[in-house]
Amino acid sequence: EKIQLVPYCEKLIQPFIRSTQRMIMISSSAESISCYTDPPKLEQLLRILIDNAIKYSENEIHICIQKQKNIISITIKDEGVGIPADDLPHVFERFYRIDKSRHRATGGSGLGLSIAKSIAKSLRGTITVESIFGKGTNVQVNLPSIL
Ligand code: ATP
């Protein structure tokens, strides 16, 4: 199914903004970026990443949508607690959580990112994470724009 990514993401973030009162901004490299994808799957994937960005940061969250050739990238950027370099290679593993006591209040299971990765794969895409501990995290999803 063909979707317009900017309005699609605008719609997706509204419930998050309403329920958390957080600032979530969307920017894009072009006015209109379309993508052939499975919209419910993409929604499930982006919800996991936005949930994490909200849980592990307190400032504004930015979602950047770009298209280069036939690759769409959607990057969720936060300025939160960040991920220690030693933990970074493991965050996509099932049940992996960093410093359990630190995050006890947020009550995660450590499954979110492993599910996100398998969804990205099922959409023939990839997911990567860049983070600086104490500064923030960028999670980038790359998807083919055509099926
Ligand atoms: P849930 O299954 O509810 O999402 P979770 O957040 O613990 O629980 P994952 O989404 O798999 O599980 O994330 C794994 C770990 O990676 C988290 O415990 C957290 O320590 C770290 N992490 C994930 N996203 C971020 C982020 N945006 N900023 C900082 N740390 C993060």
Q: Which of 115, 95, 138 is nearest to 47 (CA)?
A: 115
Consecutive 10-residue averages of pLDDT for the chain (147 residues): 97 97 97 96 98 96 96 98 95 86 66 97 98 98 91
In angstroms, what is the span from residue 2 Cα to ligand 1's centroid?
30
In angstroms, what is the span from residue 99 Cα to ligand 1's centroid?
11
Atom from ligand 1 closest to the CA of residue 110: 12
ipTM: 0.95
Atom from ligand 1 closest to the CA of residue 48: 4
Radius of gyration of the CA atoms of the chain, in A: 15
Q: Which pLDDT belongs to residue 131?
A: 98
Q: Which pLDDT belongs to residue 108?
A: 74
Q: Which pLDDT belongs to residue 104?
A: 56
Q: Which pLDDT belongs to residue 57?
A: 96
Q: Which pLDDT belongs to residue 106?
A: 64
Measured between alpha carbons, how far is 13 from 59 in angstroms, rounded to an integer? 15
